[in-house]
Chains A and B, each alone.
Chain A
């Protein structure tokens, strides 16, 4: 028997071989498909939020640049000042320069550095009426000093000190910075929530098994869970406005959307459906108080407490080839506490990370549909996003 014959014989016997792939394998594959679909939704949501945030950031940065005094001055100079208007001012500058040249060297040395060292072109080309007016005033003062003291040396402190010691522009910038800290903030965020008391912090987006099934079991006609549900990690995103209340205190209010999926075996009209998905869409209004215990130029650290009321807009149940929608009365209340850090990349755009602990209250009057929030009320939440400061 040659090697070739041996190979042929084996191939003919083995190539058509099959192995039974049971129902449990399909269930695992089905769960994997659902997990990948959720991951795709999350990726797309993050991409959409990031794109919106990037557009907003670019808009704010551009708007910030247009508010910059330097940009305004240049614009003003190019747009408003004509050569005719500048000519008399140039004449005055030349006159001052001539007089200074005639005066003693020590007197010239004691002049404000701006006039003494500024290139001629810089002085003549600037179109800022205010700045030229200041130069002219200084020049006039110098002229008076020269006339009174020449040819004697002018004392340096008489002229230069008051001008050189106070940086009015820096003070104005500081005032502006302080005022901008008091400006309202807009936060765009996405968060992932995990059950802190159940499986712990989930490393992946797959389902978790919680130990209880509290919460509303669906009304008649809808599938009723008959086994341990698997809870997928909720997906949330939203926007929030923060309003300054005091030097380090902020109040926030916003809007949030959450998508919560659970999977379980369920009975409906006497038929067992081994894979039933409940998909809940919640919209909520979060409110919170934030205290900045570290507040630097570009970095803040803070503690916050908050509360949220969520309304379930739609509860969708998918089982077999059936899809049923159900309305839900009442609200899902929650309270949260956490700490956070934010880094301001520009004066108006910052990124932040808020880890927090959330407690979802049991609404006894209007029980909410079975979900990770009703089954495991204590949740750990990781919120991240962008903040925008408005002047």
Chain B
């Protein structure tokens, strides 16, 4: 590695380097974004090992497709979409059947939740662990809606389900999470 600090290299230069296939630029991009993206993949896949596999596939896709990035939105946002897609592809390939079963076992109507203070006291890692423990169907929709801010229509299109199903599963996901928090 050269003496230049990572923070001194602009994102634009990093992108140009990656487009050229410069391994040093690729490494710097990885160093800059891998921790955030690994956390993202962990939230979706629920497993650190799987998240690592997805992270590698995601970066390979990014280095392949980085020439198509048009700088019309934030680069981090563009990367996040790729990692979310990679995570969802993994889930679709591996958890489709389990996904359907789990939905039936949780009531749709929510419980009253007044423990605002409990959530306030929990740190990010504890919440991450809880989200990772969620059943995969709830987890995907919860992540897409609550954390990423996607609409139910976008989620329905992405997962190939109806909007009603997306709303229903989000509601059940919240209930599942609140019950787990109550027990802490």
Contacts and interface: CB of A to CB of B under 8 A. Distances in A.
For B23, B26, B51, B178, the residue with the greatest tally of chain A CB atoms inside 10 Å of its CB is B23
A251 to B, nearest CB: 44
B56 A5 contact: no
B89 interface: no
Contacts of A11: 146-147, 149
Interface in B47-67: 48, 51-52, 55-56, 59-60, 63-64
A55 to B, nearest CB: 30
A285 to B, nearest CB: 34
A25 B54 CA distance: 11
A21 B35 contact: yes
Interface size class of A (residues with CB under 8 A): 20 to 34
Interface in A327-369: none
B60 A6 contact: no
Given A18-B36, A25-B52, A33-B63, A10 B147 contact: yes
A3 B60 CA distance: 37
For A28, A33, A37, the residue with the greatest tally of chain B CB atoms inside 10 Å of its CB is A33
Given A18-B35, A21-B38, A28 B128 contact: no
A36 interface: yes
B56 A32 contact: yes
B34 interface: yes
A164 to B, nearest CB: 69
Interface string B1-29: 01000000000000000000101101100
Given A16-B124, A21-B55, A29-B59, A1 B116 contact: yes
A3 B145 CA distance: 12
A6 B55 contact: no
A5 B43 CA distance: 20
Nearest to B178: A6
A1 B60 CA distance: 42
B170 to A, nearest CB: 9
Contacts of B149: 11
Question: For the complex, would chain B's binding face be called helix, strand, loop or mixed by DSSP majority?
Answer: helix
B35 A20 contact: yes
Contact of B42 (A7, A10, A15, A19): A19
A3 to B, nearest CB: 6
Nearest to B131: A14
Interface in A33-73: 33, 36-37
A256 to B, nearest CB: 28
B27 A1 contact: no
Question: For the complex, would chain A's binding face be called helix, strand, loop or mixed by DSSP majority?
Answer: helix
Given A3-B110, A20-B35, A36 B60 contact: yes
Contact of A9 (B2, B35, B120, B125): B120
A242 to B, nearest CB: 40
A7 B146 contact: yes
Contact of B119 (A9, A15, A26): A9
Contacts, number: 88
B34 A33 contact: no
A28 B147 contact: no
A14 B128 contact: yes
B30 A29 contact: yes
A17 interface: yes
Contacts of B52: 21, 25, 28
Contacts of A125: none
A141 interface: no
B122 interface: yes
Contacts of B39: 17-19
Nearest to A36: B60
A358 B78 CA distance: 48
Contact of A10 (B2, B27, B55, B146): B146
A17 B60 contact: no
Given A1-B113, A6-B113, A7-B146, A13 B122 contact: yes
Contacts of A199: none
Contact of B27 (A15, A19, A26, A37): A26
A331 to B, nearest CB: 33
Contacts of A7: 145-146
A37 to B, nearest CB: 8
Contact of A36 (B2, B64, B113, B119): B64
A131 interface: no
30 contacts: A1-B113, A1-B119, A3-B174, A7-B145, A9-B120, A10-B119, A10-B147, A13-B122, A14-B124, A16-B36, A16-B124, A17-B36, A17-B43, A17-B124, A17-B125, A18-B35, A18-B36, A20-B38, A21-B38, A25-B34, A25-B38, A26-B27, A26-B30, A28-B52, A29-B30, A29-B59, A30-B23, A32-B56, A33-B60, A37-B21
Given A26-B34, A321-B24, 17 more contacts: A1-B114, A6-B174, A10-B127, A13-B119, A13-B124, A16-B36, A16-B124, A17-B43, A17-B125, A19-B42, A20-B35, A20-B38, A25-B34, A28-B52, A29-B56, A33-B23, A36-B64
Interface of B: 2, 21, 23-24, 26-27, 30, 34-36, 38-39, 42-43, 48, 51-52, 55-56, 59-60, 63-64, 110, 113-116, 119-120, 122-125, 127-128, 131, 145-147, 149, 174, 178
